[in-house]
Every structure is written in C-alpha cells, then in structure tokens.
Amino acid sequence: MENNARNQVLAAVERQMPANKTAYPETPDFPRMKTDLLAAFENRVKDAGGEVFRPADAAAAQALLASQYAQAKVICSATPEITGNRDIHAVNNPHDLADVDVGVIRARFGVAENGMVWLTEEDLVVNALGFLSQHLVILLSPQAIVGDMYDAYLRIHLEDTAYGCFMMGPSATADIGAVLVHGAQGARSLNIYLLA
Amino acid sequence: MGDDKKVDVAAHAAAFLAQDDVHEPMHDKNLWAARMKRDAAAREVPEWETLRELASQIKEHTLTHLYDYLLEFESNAIKRGAKVYWARDAAEHNQHVWNILQEKNISAVIKSKSMLQEECGMTAFLENRGITVTESDLGERIQQLDDQPPSHIVMPAIHKTAEDVAQLFARTIGTDPRNTDPHYLTEAMRDNARRRFLEAGAGMTGANFAIAETGSFVVCTNEGNADIGAAVPPVHIASIGIEKLLPKVKDLGIFIRLLSRSALGTLATQYTSHFSGPRKGGELHIILTDNGRSKRLGMPDFWTSLKCIRCGACMNTCPVYRRSGGLAYGATYSGPIGIILDPTFDESRYSELPYHSSLCGSCTAVCPVKINISDQILQWRKVMAAKKYLPVSRRLAFGAAGKIFEHPQLFRSAETMASGAIRFTPDFLLYNRVLNPWGRHRELPHFAGQTFREWYLQYRAKNNEHGEQRP
Ligand code: SF4
C-alpha cells in the first residue's frame, strides 16, 4: 500500500500542477532596523511577557537566580555558568524533568524585532527542559542580538540540529474569553539574564 | 463527508444569533479586536505589502513545482532520520497513525492542533479503536470536552464565553462552576493536561510549514503544547498536508513575519519550533497527506486556495463569520477560507456555503498570501448555480448572509458604523433593504471570463421563479 500511495500522490501532483509556472521571487533588500538592537530586544521581551536582567557576572547571575526563585526545589541548568541541583547530563528520560521548577538554558541569539531567543536541542541537552520546567531562565550574550527574522534565518542551521525553537516569552493563551493568560502549558515565566 | 445532506448554514447561523444577546456581540467584538490588532501590526512593517506579494509568489512557485519539492522534502527528511509515509486520503492517513501506534503498543496520545488531523476525522477514528486522544491546545481541548469541532482555525473556542467554559469544566474536570476567571480555568486545564503529556505514548502535531531544502517542518503555537508533545513522549507523529511546503529555510523569514501578525496581531507566536529529524532518543514519523489537495491543484479557478497558511485573518474580518459563528459552516474549515475549501471536499454538502458571504472583499484585502478569496467565493456560486445546487427559494437572492444581516442586533450595532470602513460594509444597508435585488447596485470584485452582471442576468433568467422572491 505504502509505495502505491506514494506513487499515486506524486503522480497526481505531477498531473495536476498548473502548466503556468511561477518563478521563485528575488528577495529584495528590506529596510533594516537601525535602532539600538539591545534596547529594542528588551522592550519586545517585555511585550511578550518576559523580563530582562543584567547581572554583572556569572556569580551575580547565580545570586539573582537564588533570590528570584528562593522557593524552587528543583533547579536544572543546561549551562556551565549556573549551577542547579539536578544534573541535566544525567537525565536519560524526559519524564525525569517533570518536577523541575526552574530550567536554565543559554540561547544562541536574540531577535530585536520580536524578543525571540533561539534555542536548539544542543542548548537544551534534553528538549523537555524547555517545556516541562515551570519557569525558565535564559542566558543570552548582550552582543548576540540580530535585527529581524531575515537575519535570524541567515543565522540558524537547521541541518545541524534536530530541534530548534524561537521562544518569545512564556507560554500564553487567550482561549478563554479572549483574556491573555501566561503559563498555559509550558513555562509560566521567562526571565532573560544578559550575560556575556 | 460523502454525506449528501446539505449543510443548512442559514439555520445554524440563525441559531447562533438567536441563542441570547451575549454570544454574538462578544464573538463579533473579540474577532474584530483581532482584526484591529492585525492592522496595527501590519502598519508597523513598512514592507508589508511587498511581503504579501512575496509570500504569494513563493507559494505559487512551490505549488507549480510541487512534485520536485515533495521529492526533495522526502529525501531530506529521510536523511535526517524521520520515517516518511504517504496518504492519498483521510482513511490512509488514519491507518498510518493506527499502524504506528499499534506497532509501538501505544494507547494514549497527546495532540496539538492540526487542521489536517481534524479534516481526517482522526480523533474519532482512533477513539473507536480504544486510543485515548487528548487535545493539548486549550481551545481545542475545550471543544473536545464539549463534543464540538473547532469553530475557528486559530481560536477554536472563540464562540464560547468564560461562563460557558466554567460550566463545561465544572461538568468535565470538576472545577468550581461559579469561578469564571480565565486564569483559574487555564490553570485547572494545565494540571489536567500535564498528567496526560506524561502518560502519552506519542505526541501528535501538524505543521505550519515544511521546508524542502532541509526536510524540516515548523510548528507555531502560543502554549508550547506542540513542543511538550514532541519532547516528552518517545514517539512524534506529524501530519503534513502536501501544500505546506516551502523551498528554503530563508523563506521562513517572510512567512513567520506574516503569520501571527495576520492571525492575532502579535509579532510572532510564543513558540516557533523547527523539527529536523527525531530528537535524541525519540522517533519521528511524518505522514504526507493529499486528501483532495492534488485534485484542488488541478482546478484552474481554485488552486490558489492551496496557498493558505491558516492564519484566520479572513475569518476575523468577515462580517458574516463574525455574526454567524464558525460552527454555522458545518465543516472543518469555516469563514471565507472554508467557503472556498469545503466545496472541494463535497460540492453538494457544502453547496450553500458560497452564499454565506457579503462579498465585501475584506477577506481578500487581509489575506497574507493574497488569495483572491472573494473572487473564488463568487466563482463557487457560479459552479453551484451551474450544477443546480441552489439555495432554497426563501433565501435565494441574499443567500445565508441575508438572514444574518436582517437580524435586529445588527441594526443596533449599525449605529456604531462610523467606527470603521469595513466593519460594516456600505453594502450592509443594501442587504437590509430587502426588496432591493441582491447585487443590483453593488461593486463586486472582478473575476475572469464573465462579469458579475452577465452572470447575474443569466442566473436570474435561469431561475426566474426564485429571482424576485424576497419577503
Ligand atoms: S485564506 Fe488567507 S487570510 Fe484566510 S486563513 Fe488562509 S492565509 Fe489566512
């Protein structure tokens, strides 16, 4: 059945494709964001429901984390700068992350246009860390900000990673009465620590 | 489908309008708010119109070269370690899913929103075979618990009030029926769904875009539910319609900028996730599904409907949709896009849908991939007329839209007409001057071959006994 279905779908597509072909368009050079990228990024993160902090160094970031999540029982960090109490490299099964209160991940870069950060499977170590954690802390180098989505897509290499995600603030929904609620399924909050 | 019983859109719409004076105004208000946010977001992008044109061209390019791009996608996805299946129709799609689940002994799946899976009737198919299927998107879950299909492709439960949801959740997951706070209700569902994520043997997703160049696909959600489903259970099954393809990764820059701005007026969805092969320790199964798409590709007047990226903007702006509610369409796809897609699945069953439009052209004006939606609606009316699938006489001339525009609530809202040019089209009043034959003084979108006037005269000549019959 399988081969048959494949060949039949492909044959049908080949037969039905419009004879008038449309050319692949040239992408023009779009106007680029010229403002302060970092400031724009920070504002967009806030719009998306996240918060940005600027700890002076890794030790300050560790202290900030401790003060912001004083109640957290399980902190799991996928970064060398921040130490938690659950070793991500010892996790074999994503289910083991079900009780994580705070996940810490370093993003590759941020996007000034919308406040997104780019995270890959390599950064997450175990993908579920980005989604089962109740709260997320994202480390980001303040130098690693691109202007817009065109730049962002020039920067990513989908052939190098099985999973990559542009994350824009915490999980959100407005499915009940059109009221915006954060923490629908994924992270309830997302804090970005700018840390070179 | 295949059921020959016509969907009586007017009766459904009338039922939505008549239920009380809460639902319809709320529906209208919320969708119009999304439309206004869309306008504001579009205005912020100086090259917006260029983007729409580019997106349209890229989609047309892909569709007119689809054969090659499908092969390219398939071989790259396989190279990346995904298993690729092909399905000619809904039954084959569902069978693939069932086979995968059986082979792995999986009895519970968690799924994120997929219009294709909806189109295939997959949930009912699996449930009949003893599989527990849980929708993880909150709006979809609300609809699932209420035993209703989604009423909007982006906001599935937008026709329900918080009170409706409070009652539903009290009945189904044991929340306090008096507590209508969306935060409380969302939290209750978060707890409920989380257990199911952890119990599921497979996570199912759809795809917003599939990239030939890398064999990747992209899923956009605000809740992150697709990501949990893909990251937690060992098996990820993705249902991808063959029209979802884009040639290159860089095309995403254009489409991601357009999608959420058009849908909800936000800069992007909270999660834009790229799957290129199975995750570490997981399995990825991709089902490339036709289900009528290749046939649509061969329809000269309608093939460009395959460009649709399912943003829902045409629904949010449609003056008929906003008043009738999405369930009135009685089909998987509602609103203007539904009107032009559904008849390709079943012409007879959906023969009244093309009349469920004011033809104001607002849908065409907002569509991020420039589908000539209102032209196609008109074109479908011609098809229906030629095939004698005519609406019954009492609603002939005005079609289903007439019913809605006649409704007294609309007269009330018309007082606020000054607030927006398209909110109430100038034609609105014409519709209500019921003795004015439909279309007489109207400006209509141009369509090839035959002018509206010519068509209308022919149509009237053919159906004279109905032509003038308005109450
Ligand atoms: S037809 Fe256009 S506006 Fe409507 S859902 Fe599709 S892409 Fe969006």
pLDDT tens digits, A49-91? 999 999 999 999 999 999 999 999 999 999 999 999 999 999 9
**What residue in B sits closest to A12 (Cα-Cα)?**
B294
The C-alpha of B101 sits at a distance from chain A's nearest C-alpha, in angstroms, of: 17
A9/B242 CB distance under 8 A: yes
> What's the domain range around B433?
397-465
Per-residue pLDDT, B2 = 42
CATH code of residue B97: 3.40.50.10420
Are B71 and B218 in a shared domain?
Answer: yes
Q: Which of B180, B191, B266 is nearest to A185 (CA)?
A: B191
Domain boundary among B263, B296, B329: B296
- B337, part of any domain: no
Instruction: Name B71's Cβ contacts closer than 8 Å, sequence gap at least 6.
Output: A10
Q: At what angle do helices B162-172 and B182-199 cross, to 10 degrees?
A: 40
Range with the poorest average pLDDT among B206-210, B298-302, B459-463: B459-463
- B135, part of any domain: yes
Rounded to an integer, what distance in angstroms lies between the CA atom of residue B10 and that of residue A156? Answer: 49
- B6, part of any domain: no
Residue with tokens 């019913």: B403
* Ligand 1 touching residue B314 (CB < 6 A): yes
- pLDDT range class, residue B389, cuts 50, 70, 90: confident
Q: Is A25 on the interface with B (CB under 8 A)?
A: yes
Question: What is the maximal distance between C-alpha atoms in chain A?
Answer: 65
**What residue in A sits closest to B256 (Cα-Cα)?**
A149
Give all strands (DSSP E) within B162-290, no chain letters.
Answer: 202-205, 209-211, 216-221, 235-241, 245-246, 271-275, 283-289
* Ligand 1 touching residue B264 (CB < 6 A): no
- B419, part of any domain: yes
- B260, part of any domain: yes
Are B78 and B202 in a shared domain?
Answer: yes
Domain boundary among B296, B315, B338: B296
Count Cβ atoms below 10 Å from residue A33 Cβ, excluding itself.
15
B222/A184 CB distance under 8 A: yes
Rg (CA), chain A: 21
Are B162 and B285 in a shared domain?
Answer: yes
Are B267 and B122 in a shared domain?
Answer: yes
Residue with tokens 């319609």: B241
Domain boundary among B296, B330, B360: B296
B187/A183 CB distance under 8 A: yes
A24/B247 CB distance under 8 A: yes
- B139, part of any domain: yes
Chain A positions in Cβ-Cβ contact with residue B252 (cut-off 8 Å): 149, 153
Distance B296 CA to ligand 1 centre (A): 16
Cα dihedral B146, B147, B151, B156, rounded to 10, equals 60
> Cβ-count burial of A95 within 10 angstroms (0-12 exposed, 13-18 middle, 19+ buried)?
middle
Are B55 and B169 in a shared domain?
Answer: yes
Question: Which of ligand 1's atoms lies nearest the C-alpha of B307?
Answer: 7
**pTM score:** 0.88
- B1, part of any domain: no
Q: What is the ipTM of this complex?
A: 0.97
Cα dihedral B20, B24, B27, B28, rounded to 10, equals -150
- B302, part of any domain: no
Q: At what angle do helices B9-18 and B23-43 cross, to 10 degrees?
A: 100
Task: Check whether B74 has a pLDDT greater than 80.
Answer: yes
Task: Check whether A157 has a pLDDT greater than 70.
Answer: yes
Half-sphere exposure of B308 (CA within 13 A, CB side): 29
Q: Is A135 on the interface with B (CB under 8 A)?
A: no
Rounded to an integer, what distance in angstroms lies between the CA atom of residue B111 and that of residue B468? Answer: 50
Task: Identify the helix (H) or strand (E) that includes residue B62.
Answer: helix B48-64
Rounded to an integer, what distance in angstroms lies between the CA atom of residue B234 and that of residue B140? Answer: 23
Q: How many domains does chain B have?
A: 2
- Residues 54-73 (A) with a CB less than 8 A from some CB of B: none
Minimal Cβ distance to B279: which of A163, A170, A183:
A163
Minimal Cβ distance to A27: which of B54, B138, B270:
B54
